[in-house]
Amino acid sequence: MSRFRNAVLTVALLAVAGMASAQSSKFPGVGRDATPKEVAKWDIDVRPDFKGLPAGSGSVAKGQDVWEGKCAHCHGVFGESGEVFSPLIGGTTAEDIKNGRVANLNRSDYPGRTTIMKVASVSTVWDYINRAMPWTSPKTLTTEEVYAVTAFLLNLANIVPDNYVLSDKNIAEVQARMPNRNGMQTQHAMWPGNEFAGVKKPDTANKVCMKDCTPEPKVASFLPDFARNAHGNLLEQNRNVGAQRGADTTKPEPKAGMPVTAAAPVAAVKPENNEAKAAIALLNKHSCTACHGVDKKIVGPGFNEVAKKNAGKVDYLAGKIKAGGVGVYGQIPMPPQSLPEADAKKIAEWISKGASK
C-alpha cells in the first residue's frame, strides 16, 4: 500500500513540475500561456487590408431579414433612425461613391453626420457588427449574418444592388465604392516605420501663440446654483449607455480652481425580496435591463410604468415579452425575445404585482 501511495505521489509531483514548466517564463509561477484555441476566440479583428476576415458570404435579402428582427428596433427600418443611436445611413450621393469623398462633410449647414458618411473602410463596418452587435447580445451573429447585414447596409446606401451577395471574395470591390474611402488621412506621422509611407512630418503646422494672443473669454452669464436642479437631477435622467453622462445637479457647479471630481454613479437599488431578486436576475440574464430600468425609462419604459397599466395581466405580459411590439409606449419597437417561456412568465408575474424592488 505504501509503495502504491509513493507511486501516486511521484506521478502527481511530475505533473505539477510539467505544469510549472508550461507556465510563462516571463512571470514564473503566475498563470500560463494562452493556447492557440483561446487566442483565436479573441483574435477576431478585421483590418482594412481584410486580414482576419473569415471566409463566408451573405445576401442583401438575408440581411434584410436579420436587420428587421435584430437591428431595426434601435436603428430604424432603413438605418435612418436617430431615436436611440445616431443614424447609420443618409447624406451620401452617387457622386460621393464615384469620387470617394462625401461632399456633405464639408457643409456647415448639413443637419448631421451619419456613419456611412464618415466611415472610410468597409472592414470597419463588418468588424464592428461582428464584435458588438446586437447591442443586447454581442457576438451572437453568425458569419453569414454579419456578411448579410453588412450587405444590407451597403444596399441602403446604394453602394451595392438589391441582388448582391457580399463575400470575402468580392469585399475588396465594395471597398472601391465606399463613399468616403478617400476621406481618411494616414500620412500624419502617428505610426513608426513604413507601414503608412513612413511619413516623418505631421500633417499639421500649428504654432504656439507667444505675443498679442487672444485673451481668455469671460463668461457674462451663468445658471445660478439654486436653478441647477429645477428639473431634477440630470445624472439620474441619462441612459446608462454611451459616452454621455448628465451632471450631478444636486451639487453646485465647480468653480475655477476647485478640484473636479467625477460624479458618483447612481447606486442601483438592491431587491429586498426573493421574488424581486429572481426576476431582476432574469432581466439581467436576458439583457432586458439594457433597454428598461426598474423605475425609469432607458430606451423603453421602466418596469414600474408597465406594471401600472397591466396589474394582474400575467399571460398578457408574458405574451408581449415573447412577441415584442410597438406603439404602446412610443415608436421604438421591442423585438421578439427568445427567452424560455418559464422565464418570461416569472418576469411577467413580478411585473403584474407591481415590479417591486
Mean pLDDT of the 62-80 span:
91
The predicted-structure confidence for 219-228, as pLDDT tens digits, reads as follows: 776 777 778 8
> Among 260, 64, 76, 20, which Cα is nearest to 152's?
64
Q: Are 185 and 203 in contact (CB under 8 A)?
A: yes
> Is pLDDT above 50 for 20?
no
Mean pLDDT of the 267-293 span:
75
The reported pLDDT for the residue numbered 286 is 81
Other beta carbons within 10 angstroms of residue 12's beta carbon come to 10
The reported pLDDT for the residue numbered 271 is 47
> Is pLDDT above 60 for 22?
no
Residue, of 260 and 162, whose pLDDT is higher: 162
Look at 100-109, 212-221, 343-352 and tell me which has the smallest mean pLDDT.
Answer: 212-221
> Is pLDDT above 70 for 244?
no
> Is pLDDT above 50 for 300?
yes
Look at 5-19, 69-83, 87-101, 318-332 and tell me which has the smallest mean pLDDT.
Answer: 5-19
Q: What is the DSSP letter of 277?
A: H
> Is pLDDT above 70 for 268?
no
Mean pLDDT of the 89-115 span:
92
Q: Mean pLDDT over all residues of the chain? A: 81
The reported pLDDT for the residue numbered 11 is 47
Per-residue pLDDT band at 17 (split at 50, 70, 90): very low
The reported pLDDT for the residue numbered 306 is 83
The predicted-structure confidence for 194-239, as pLDDT tens digits, reads as follows: 555 666 676 666 778 888 887 777 777 677 777 888 888 888 777 6
> Is pLDDT above 70 for 83?
yes
The reported pLDDT for the residue numbered 350 is 83
Helical segments of the chain, H only? 2-22, 36-42, 60-70, 72-75, 94-99, 115-118, 122-132, 143-156, 171-175, 234-237, 274-285, 303-309, 314-323, 341-352
Q: What is the DSSP letter of 292?
A: B
The reported pLDDT for the residue numbered 19 is 47
- With a pLDDT cut of 90, the percent of the chain lying above it is 31
The reported pLDDT for the residue numbered 57 is 95
Residue, of 189 and 235, whose pLDDT is higher: 235
The reported pLDDT for the residue numbered 243 is 54
Q: What is the DSSP letter of 160?
A: S
Backbone torsion region of residue 40, taken as left when φ is above 0, otherwise alpha when ψ lies between -120 and 50, otherwise beta: alpha
Look at 164-168, 221-225, 249-253, 256-260 and tell me which has the smallest mean pLDDT.
Answer: 256-260
> Among 71, 106, 75, 76, which Cα is nearest to 91's?
106
Return the sign of the alpha-carbon dihedral for residues 129, 134, 135, 140: negative
Residue 227 and residue 30: Cα distance in Å, rounded?
Answer: 55
Look at 119-123, 200-204, 339-343 and tell me which has the smallest mean pLDDT.
Answer: 200-204
The reported pLDDT for the residue numbered 21 is 46
The reported pLDDT for the residue numbered 60 is 96
- Alpha-carbon Rg for the chain, nearest whole angstrom, is 27
